[in-house]
A and B are shown apart, each in its own frame.
Chain A
Amino acid sequence: MSQDRNTDIELRLLIEAIYLKYSYDFRDYSGASVKRRVNHALRQFECATISALQERVLHDPSAFMQLLQFLTIPVSEMFRDPSHFLAIRQEVVPLLRTYPSIKIWIAGCSTGEEVYSMAILLREEGLLERTIIYATDINPSSLEKAKQGIFSMENVRAYTENYQKAGGQRAFSDYYTSAYDYAIFDKTLRENVTFADHSLATDSVFSETQLISCRNVLIYFNKKLQDRAFGLFHDSLCHRGFLVLGSKETLDFSAYSSHFEPLVKPERIYRKS
C-alpha cells in the first residue's frame, strides 16, 4: 500500500512539474487514465520510477514532447459513429445553411479525422466554401499530422463504410489519392481550415462560432475541467449555436446543462438556448 501511495505522490509531482515548466495542464484530467498512460510511458522510457521520469522531462524538453505523445490519446476515426454525422447532415445542416458565413471549431481535433469528416460533409452540402474551420489541439505532433491529411489505407477502408452509413453521397475514394499503403486526402478540403495550438484547460475563447464539435475529449477531464470547457464553448457559440459531443459525453451532469437544449439527444447534438 505504501508503494501505491508513493506512486500517487510521484504522479502529482510529475503533473505539477509539467505544468510549471511547460504550461501543459493535466492537473484536472481524470486520474485513472493519466496514471495508466504514465505507467505505460515509464516502460517505454525505461524509467524505474515516476520520479526518474520527472527528472528527465524537467531537464529535457524533447523528452517532454515524447511524453506528451503518451499523455494525449490520438484515437480517432473518420465519420466515427456514422449516425451522428447523418444527424448533423439532416438536422443541423439545414439550419447552418441560413448563415451567410459559418465558423466551426473542432476542439481536440487530434490527427484530423474529425476535421476531414466535417469538411467532406460540408462540401457535399455546398457549405464548405463559406465555412472557416478552426481545428485545435494541444499536441503539436497531432496537429502536424492533421495538416498533412495522410491516413493509412487500412484505416481508410473502415472509414469508407462509416462514410456510406453517414449518408455520404459519392464514392469515398473521390476524396483521396492512394499511394502505396496511404491515402492522401484532397488538399482543397483544408483550404479553409486553420490548425492551431489551443488548450481547453488553459486558453480562452478566440472566435465567435456557429458550431463546435468536441468529441471524445471531455471524457479525459474531471467535472471541473469539463465545466471550464463547456463555459468556453458557451461563450464562443453564437445565439442558438450548435454543440456536438462524443457518443458517451453529456451536458446532463454539468453546471451548463440549463444553458443548452438537446436537438438530437441520442447523437449528442445540443443547441445553445
Chain B
Amino acid sequence: MKKIFPGDDSNKQVLPVVDAIVVGASAGGVEALLKIFAGLRVGYRLPIITVLHVPEERRSQLAQVFQARLPIPVKEADDKEDVAPGTLYFAAPGYHLSVETDFSLSLSQEDRVFHSRPSIDILFQSAADAYGPRLAGFLLTGANNDGAFGLSCIKLSGGMTVVQDPDQAQARTMPEAALALFEPDYLLPLNDIGHLLVELERIAC
C-alpha cells in the first residue's frame, strides 16, 4: 500500500491503464470531490462515475454545482445511456447506479445498502464486473460502511484501488471500513488523489 503520490519516478511506471474511474463519498463528500476534481482540464478523456450519498427526496443539484466549477461535462446519469469519455456522472438520488457489461449505465431501486440509495457498493461491484482490471476505484470520506465491499470487488477483479487517508478525512468511517476489509493499492490525502486522477488519464489516453 503506497501512502504517497507521485513519490519518486518509479511510481508512475506502475500505474495501470484504465478505461474508467469510479468514486464513492458520503459525509464531507462535496468538499472532498471538489478538491480531487479541481485539477481536471478541458479535454480530460476518462469517464468518472460518482456516487455521493444524498437525501432521496429532493432532486439533486449536484451536477449543476459541479458543472459550474469544472471545465469537463458533468451530468446526472440517465438510465441506459452509454458511458461517454471525459464525462463526470453523478448517481441520481433514490436510485442505484450500475455499469452494464456493454458499458451503458442503468438505474434500479433495489433495497438500500447501508441505508443508502444510491449505493457505492452497487456502483463499484457492477463497474468491476464490466471493466475488470481496467478500472480505478476511489473511496473517500464518509460516516458509514458503504463502498468498502465494492472497492474490494474492484481489487479482486484486478483493478486499482485508492482510499482517502482516514486521518485527513472529514468522516473516517468509510475509509477505515475499506482498510479493515483489504489492503488498497494507495492510501492518500485528497491533493495526491487529484494528481493521481490527472496522471491516470495521461497514461490511459
Tell me the A residues contacting B by CB distance below 8 Å: 1, 4, 30-33, 35-37, 73, 75, 216, 218-220, 222-223, 226, 247-250, 253
For B99, the closest partner residue in chain A by CB is A32
B110 interface residue (CB < 8 Å to A): yes
Measured CA separation A121–B95 after assembly (Å): 26
9 contacts between A and B (CB under 8 A): A4-B157, A32-B99, A32-B101, A32-B130, A36-B125, A36-B126, A75-B111, A222-B80, A223-B80
Asked if residues B110 and A248 are in contact (CB atoms below 8 Å), the reply is: no
Measured CA separation A250–B78 after assembly (Å): 9
Segment 74-122 of B: residues with Cβ below 8 Å from A:
78-81, 92, 94-96, 98-101, 106-111, 122
B132 interface residue (CB < 8 Å to A): yes
Interface contact tally, CB-CB below 8 A: 62
Measured CA separation A247–B60 after assembly (Å): 12
Asked if residues A32 and B110 are in contact (CB atoms below 8 Å), the reply is: no
Measured CA separation A30–B101 after assembly (Å): 10
Measured CA separation A4–B125 after assembly (Å): 12
B192 interface residue (CB < 8 Å to A): no
Specify the main secondary structure of chain B where it touches its partner: loop
Measured CA separation A73–B111 after assembly (Å): 9
Asked if residues B78 and A248 are in contact (CB atoms below 8 Å), the reply is: yes
Residue of B94, B95, B106, B111 near A32 (CB, 8 A) is B106
Give the chain B neighbours of A253 by CB distance below 8 A. 78, 80-81
Residue of A32, A33, A248, A250 near B92 (CB, 8 A) is A248
Tell me the B residues contacting A by CB distance below 8 Å: 78-81, 92, 94-96, 98-101, 106-111, 122, 125-126, 129-130, 132, 157-158
What is the distance, in angstroms, from A45's C-beta to the closest C-beta of chain B?
A: 17
Give the chain A neighbours of B96 by CB distance below 8 A. 33
Give the chain B neighbours of A219 by CB distance below 8 A. 79, 95, 106-109
Asked if residues B110 and A33 are in contact (CB atoms below 8 Å), the reply is: yes
Asked if residues A73 and B110 are in contact (CB atoms below 8 Å), the reply is: yes
For A81, the closest partner residue in chain B by CB is B94
Asked if residues A36 and B100 are in contact (CB atoms below 8 Å), the reply is: no
Give the chain B neighbours of A4 by CB distance below 8 A. 129, 157
Residue of A30, A222, A250 near B108 (CB, 8 A) is A30
Residue of B99, B109, B129 near A216 (CB, 8 A) is B109
Residue of A32, A37, A248, A250 near B126 (CB, 8 A) is A32
Asked if residues A33 and B106 are in contact (CB atoms below 8 Å), the reply is: yes
Asked if residues B157 and A31 are in contact (CB atoms below 8 Å), the reply is: no
Give the chain A neighbours of B122 by CB distance below 8 A. 36
For B158, the closest partner residue in chain A by CB is A1
For B82, the closest partner residue in chain A by CB is A253
Asked if residues B78 and A30 are in contact (CB atoms below 8 Å), the reply is: no
Give the chain B neighbours of A220 by CB distance below 8 A. 108
Measured CA separation A104–B126 after assembly (Å): 37
Give the chain B neighbours of A1 by CB distance below 8 A. 132, 157-158
With a 10 A CB-CB cut-off, give which of B109, B111, B126, B157 has the most chain A CB atoms: B109
Q: A1-B157, A31-B100, A36-B122 are in contact. Are A73 and B106 (CB under 8 A)?
A: no
